[in-house]
Amino acid sequence: MNIPEDEAALIKRALCLAGRTLGEIAQELHLPVPKNITHAKGWTGQLIEKILGASAGSLAEPDFPHLGIELKTLPISSMGVVSETTYVCIVPLSEMNQATWKTSIVYAKLAHVLWVPIDITSPTLFHRRIGTPLLCDLPENDEALLQKDWEEFAELISLGKIESITAHQGTVLQIRPKAAHSRIKTAGIGPLGEPIQTLPRGFYLRKCFTQKIIKRYFVV
DNA sequence: AGATGATCATCT
DNA sequence: AGATGATCATCT
């Protein structure tokens, strides 16, 4: 699909997806629907990217760079409950001390998000239904929560404490592994300021955060 | 049962 | 290798 020229065009296109199944969208794009979700974890997100005309590629920038809008699908189980945490971006282990909240990748990605709820009640990808998409600017109070978590993580990482950070930390943002498997290593900074090799990590939004966002708009 | 740590597919 | 898209599966 071509790139939407402005925000209004993107929203219009996104709203057309409401109520449709992933199978219908895939057929429209002449794409096969994977049978096994375990081996197609990112398929839904990539399908929605294609139908909305998000710029392909794996760059560390929002999906619609000219609009500054990030696209996120949000899995919703029965009763309107967010069923998974939301990956935001990789943790830049070696450059964390150079960033401020406002210059961070996390802020760039979350300032404007087009949330696309996916009803995952059906176990088969084909029959899963798209909810009503929601374009959302980051409210000030949510930003304050994210900024606080981010700044605490930034300090720990700058002090070389990345290997002591667990998913238990952070009230709305958390850091968890982000790799094909647990033996993968990337460059980081150790406790003595020395270069180390450590597991790549990502920033994730806790469920409570995304649940709150959709609860503002949908009665459950 | 829910959350944490681990993992899967694809692209550049 | 490192980024994107995420969900799985084990542990508590």
- Rounded to whole angstroms, the Cα distance separating A140 from A57 reads 31
Does the residue A212 lie in any domain? Answer: yes
The CATH number for A110's domain is 3.40.600.10
Does the residue A194 lie in any domain? Answer: yes
- Rounded to whole angstroms, the Cα distance separating A55 from A67 reads 11
Does the residue A1 lie in any domain? Answer: no
Does the residue A2 lie in any domain? Answer: no
Give percent of chain A above pLDDT 70: 97
Does the residue A57 lie in any domain? Answer: yes
The residue lying closest to nucleotide B8, measuring its CA against C1', is A39
Going by C-beta distance under 8 Å and a sequence separation of 6 or more, which residues neighbour residue A14?
A52, A114, A116, A133, A135
- In this predicted structure, the answer to whether residue A218 has a pLDDT above a threshold of 70 is no
- Rounded to whole angstroms, the Cα distance separating A159 from A191 reads 6
Mean pLDDT in residue range A59-71: 91
Range(s) of the domain holding residue A109: 7-217
* Residue A57, pLDDT score: 66
Q: Is the CB of A30 under 7 A from strand B?
A: no
* Residue A220, pLDDT score: 44
**Separation of CA A56 and C1' B12 in angstroms?**
11
Does the residue A16 lie in any domain? Answer: yes
- Rounded to whole angstroms, the Cα distance separating A79 from A117 reads 13
**What pLDDT, in 10s, does the model give residues A207-216?**
999 999 998 8
* Residue A217, pLDDT score: 75
**What pLDDT, in 10s, does the model give residues A102-156?**
999 999 999 999 999 999 999 999 999 999 999 999 999 999 999 999 999 999 9
Q: Is the CB of A207 under 7 A from strand B?
A: yes
Mean pLDDT in residue range A62-91: 95
Does the residue A18 lie in any domain? Answer: yes
**What pLDDT, in 10s, does the model give residues A165-195?**
999 999 999 999 999 999 999 999 999 999 9
Kindly report the bases of strand C lying within 7 A of a protein C-beta atom: 1-9
* Residue A80, pLDDT score: 93
* Residue A61, pLDDT score: 84
Domain count, chain A: 1
Does the residue A180 lie in any domain? Answer: yes
**Separation of CA A87 and C1' C6 in angstroms?**
7
How does the average pLDDT of chain A come out, rounded? 94
Report residue A1's pLDDT band, with 50, 70 and 90 as the boundaries: confident
